[in-house]
Amino acid sequence: MNYTSTNMASTSTLSKKILIVEDSPMVNTLLQNQLSDFGHKVAPAYSLAEATEALQKSSFDFVILDLILPDGNGRELLREIRKYPQTKVIILSGSHNEVDRNKLFNEGIVDYYCKDSTIKHSIAEINNQIQQIEYNKNFTILLIDDSATVRAHLKILLKPRNFTILDASTGMQGLELLKNEKIDLVILDMELPDIHGLKVLEKIKSGVNASIPVIIVSGSHSPEIVRGTYKLGAAEFLHKPYIPEELLLKVSYWLEQYVAKKKLDSSNRLLQEYKDTIDESSIVSKTDINGIITFVNPAYCTISGYSEDEFLGQSNNIVRHPDMPKETYSQIWETIQAKKTWRGILKNRKKNGIHYWVNAVIRPIINLNGDIIEYIGINTDITEIQDIKERLSKDLNIASMYFQDAYHLSKVYENAMDESSILSRMDTQGRITYVNGELERVAGYTEEELIGQNYTILKHPDTTQNVIEEIWDTIQSGSIWKGLIKNQKKDQGYFWSNSMIFPIKDKNDKILEYMTICNDVSEIMELHTEIENTQKELIYRMGELAESRSKETGNHIKRVAAYSKVLALKYGLSQKDAELLFIASPMHDIGKLSIPDAILKKPGSLDATESEIMQQHCQIGYDLLHDSNKPILKASAIVAYEHHEKWDGTGYPQKLKGEEIHIFARITTIADVFDALGSDRCYKKAWEDEKIFQLFRDLKGEHFEPALVDIFFENIDELRQIRESYRDNFD
């Protein structure tokens, strides 16, 4: 038999134990050498006697058998081999007798090859058949025939090739098996006792099993029946009595086509998933070779304000912004007409005249003849980030070194935005299966270093397990996850990515893999951090300025900030709120900037009028800060306004009581009083600790919240250590 299906079999060679029964030393040696090179374990026999002895001493997966041997016909050995059901027989013979050949297939051989000048090719086909037979375990064939004899004969032909065989004697039994079992091919008779084979074929091809190949094997072969079977979608029509070898060839061929179609369907499904992913995450358009728009996705319509009908038939000039130089578009056309990809940032105009920015990739689509048939543009909306860069360069004309740094970082980020998106894929176990060049460049790994690794190779220690669990819970549920992730580079550095992770599903909504599309936003994150640090620095410097007018040192506000953070954490506030109070507490006396020096710096006690003026610093500080929408300044306003309120309601300026006083102010009050009493000031000397502690005990529940006083004493050693670290030095 000169046909062996190789496309379905695994590309890796399975090692089998093979007995070669061939009287020609040259041919036997050639078989041994080549099959050994394929990884098989081989043993030679040169006669029936040697072969029989070898079979009795050892078990073999395959016997390659010559028919003409010095001590008899090779067919005599088949009776011996039947004692060993696991052993399969392949004939390699110089005999071309067609009758003998068909008889051998009817006796259960796997295949038949003729010895001729192409014997080396035949040996390669034998190895392919061995691999295919192992792969055939994956396939189930259903026999529908009312003749038990025919079904038995078909099993004799098919079972040696490792197919799983199910059989039915009626059409309804066959249809029931198709409903409940995984079937890959059907062999169907026409004359059945309950319903005609054409009706069975019609039901198969009109249901969920329509793609399964059906081979008709029938004694009824009138032109009408043959025509009817092909019209209904049968793969083949074989007449009884059929040629065994032809039937085996047809079975292998149509199983190969069935597998190829399933792979094609799967590939098309994946391609559609990838297209949908790109459509959902990007702004997509296509034009013909003249630049006329032929397709836009919904995202393009949403961002531009134009409908699909308004786009189609127009050129891309419809969204061109006047700020974009003509030279840019000339460069785009020169690049893509040269069959290259253009990448860059474009400023476009919406239908209502408002601008938007995109990071664009424009690629020519080339057919098999090498001709450009259309152009596709895939864009990412970067309007917010681009506008931030413009504002930094035009609006924030501040001489501060911090904002100079921020401007510098924005220029660095502009360069980063010129690069394409980062793309990767991973399987359902989290193993990386694909990365593009941009991820290699950003992360510092090569493709070989990343493929097959778990995604955690890129996890930064700052990215908490809770974030990872949230991502997996989201994508394993079939939903898209969007967010910022901090990743670790190969050199232990880091990069921030604005990421979208998509589950890729098959037609049954089973998740096959995950695709990640993201942009490197490290520079903008650093810019954000720099601006936030600038805010913190300005707040601290303003607090220092207020305290310096009272002849206080900068160490006073450092100590108050550190005390406040410790007390906040011990009180049970979150790390985020504790950090916010740490930054805001230095602003508690910011209102003193408006108090006259004669009162602020008076060495003695203040009279009633002076006290009233001094108390106004709380309201002044609040009025200065509370209109801001920045969390730090809002917190500072609260602390400035309420840090002189008392637990029993006798404080100022609002006479708030108990938990009416914000926790930030209650904490700052204890921190401020503790440090003020323990420090030298223009109107007093520092108190001894025991005197301070007695005051806190006496005023517990009056001036101070009782629970905070308890926390204060429980952590007094840590507070003393802070005081020692920031001790004033008047030398």
Q: What pLDDT is attached to residue 635? A: 87
- For the stretch 618-672, pLDDT in tens is 888 888 778 777 787 888 889 889 999 999 999 999 999 999 999 999 999 999 8
| Packing angle, helices 706-714 and 716-725, rounded to 10 | 70
Q: What pLDDT is attached to residue 393? A: 52
Show the tokens assigned to 452.
């097959």
Q: What pLDDT is attached to residue 550? A: 45
CA distance 302 to 515: 24
Pairing of strands 372-381, 422-427: unpaired
CA distance 152 to 155: 5
Q: b vs e for 72-81, b when ≥16 Cβ sit within 10 Å of the residue's Cβ?
A: eebeebbeeb
Q: Which residues contact 265 (CB under 8 A, 6 or more apart)?
A: 507
Over the chain (731 residues), what is each successive 10-residue block's mean pLDDT?
44 77 91 90 94 92 91 87 89 82 87 80 86 89 94 92 94 94 94 93 91 91 89 92 90 90 79 68 87 92 94 92 91 93 92 92 88 90 76 47 43 42 87 87 90 90 88 91 88 86 86 85 60 51 49 66 92 89 81 75 80 87 78 85 93 93 94 84 75 93 94 93 75 43
Question: Which residue, 504, 484, 505, is CA-closest to 494?
Answer: 484
Q: What is the 3-state secondary structure (H, E, C) of 5-65?
A: CCCCCCCCCCCCEEEEECCCHHHHHHHHHHHHHCCCEEEEECCHHHHHHHHHHCCCCEEEE
Question: Which residue, 379, 480, 363, 375, is CA-closest to 421?
Answer: 379
Strands (E), 450-493: 481-488
CA distance 504 to 567: 49
- For the stretch 191-207, pLDDT in tens is 999 999 999 999 999 98
CA distance 602 to 551: 11
- For the stretch 554-596, pLDDT in tens is 477 788 888 999 999 999 999 889 888 888 887 777 777 777 7
Q: Burial, 321: exposed, middle or buried (Cβ in 10 Å; 0-12, 13-18, 19+)? A: middle
Q: What pLDDT is attached to residue 421? A: 73
Q: What pLDDT is attached to residue 182? A: 93
Q: Burial, 90: exposed, middle or buried (Cβ in 10 Å; 0-12, 13-18, 19+)? A: buried
- Is 188 within 8 Å of 215 (Cβ atoms)? yes
Domains and CATH numbers, the chain: 17-135 (3.40.50.2300), 139-264 (3.40.50.2300), 282-368 (3.30.450.20), 419-520 (3.30.450.20), 551-725 (1.10.3210.10)
Q: What pLDDT is attached to residue 631? A: 81
The alpha carbons of the chain give a radius of gyration, in whole angstroms, of: 42
Q: Which helix (H) or strand (E) holds 204?
A: helix 197-205
Q: Burial, 426: exposed, middle or buried (Cβ in 10 Å; 0-12, 13-18, 19+)? A: buried
Q: What pLDDT is attached to residue 451? A: 92
Question: Which residue, 481, 663, 499, is CA-closest to 572?
Answer: 663
